Amino acid sequence: MPEGDTVLQTALRLDSALGGRVLTVSDLRVPRFATADLTGRTVLGVTARGKHLLARFQGGLTLHSHLRMEGAWRVYDHGERWRGGPDHQIRAVLATAEHTAVGYRLPVLELLRTEDEEQVVGHLGPDLLGTDWDPDTALRNLLADTGRRIGDALLDQRNLAGIGNVYMCELCFMARATPWLPMGELPLPIATRLVSTARQLLEANRDRPMRTTTGATAAMSRRLTGERLFVYGRAGRPCLRCRTPIRKTVRDNRPTYWCPHCQSGPTG
C-alpha cells in the first residue's frame, strides 16, 4: 500500500526521469482529459504532497494523481518493455527522449492549473515528509476530536499527511494502544511521542526499498531476527515483545493488526 514514504520515492523517481526535459509523448487515458496534449512542454518538476503527486509543466499546468490502494507509476528507459500491467490498466503515458513514465490503475488523474493546486491538496494537514511539517499543528489536529479513534485520526490526511494503514498499525503498537482507543484516552506525553515517532518512521524509510519499523530502537532491534514490521501482516504470528499471537480484523477492505496483550483499549 503506498504511503507517504512510497509516494515521495515515486515523486523523486519521476522527477529524476522527467524533470527539466521536454515531453515527446503525452497520453492521458481518462475520458475527461483524453484530448489534452502536453507534448512539447517542459516538465518543471514532480513533487509529493502527502499521498498526492503533482507533476508541473511549462505553461502553468499540473497533472495531479493519487495512487490510493493499487495505483503505480513506473519509469522505463526509451525502448524498454513496459511491465506494470496490461494495457487496459494504463491511465497515463508521459515520455521524453530518454525515459517513459507510465501510470497504472490510477484512481485519480486530473489536469489543472498550477495556481489551483490548493483545490486538491489544500485540505491536507502538515506533511510528515514536507517542508511544511509542524508537529504542534499535527498534535492539535489529532486531539481536536477527543472521542475519535486513534486509528481513524491517524489515517485522516487532514490531521497529518502521509500515514497509511501500515504505519497506523505500527504506530498504535508502539504507543501500546489499540487503534480503537479514543484519542482523548491517550496520555498527552504518549500522543506527543506518537507524532514524533510518525515523523521518525517516515524519514527513516524515505530512501529504503523495503519499509521497516522494527529498527526504531537499538534495544528492540537487537532482539529481532529479520522481522521488518511489528504487527502489520503478522496475523497469528507471535508478538515480538510478548509472543502473544497477533490478531487481525478487516473492515471496509482495510486490515488492522494488533497485539491483544501489549496494546490496551477496545478491540474493534
Q: Given 3, 91, 170, 234, which residue is catalytic?
A: 3
Angstrom distances, CA of residue 94 to CA of 69, 131, 135: 22, 27, 36
Catalytic hit among 105, 193, 241, 254:
254
254 is catalytic: yes
Determine if residue 243 is left, alpha or beta; phi over 0 gives left, psi from -120 to 50 gives alpha, anything else beta.
left
* Marked catalytic residue, from 2, 56, 179, 211: 2
| Residue 105 a catalytic site member | no
From the candidates 51, 74, 211, 247, which is the catalytic residue?
Answer: 51
CA angle 195, 199, 201 (to 5 degrees): 115
Tell me the C-alpha distance between 37 and 95, whole Å. Answer: 12
Question: Half-sphere exposure (CA, 13 Å, Cβ side) for 154?
Answer: 31
Q: And the C-alpha cell for 101?
A: 513514465
CB 145 within 8 A of CB 154: no
Whether 266 is catalytic: no
DSSP 177: B
CA nearest to 225, candidates 236, 216, 214: 214
- Residues designated as active site: 2-3, 51, 254
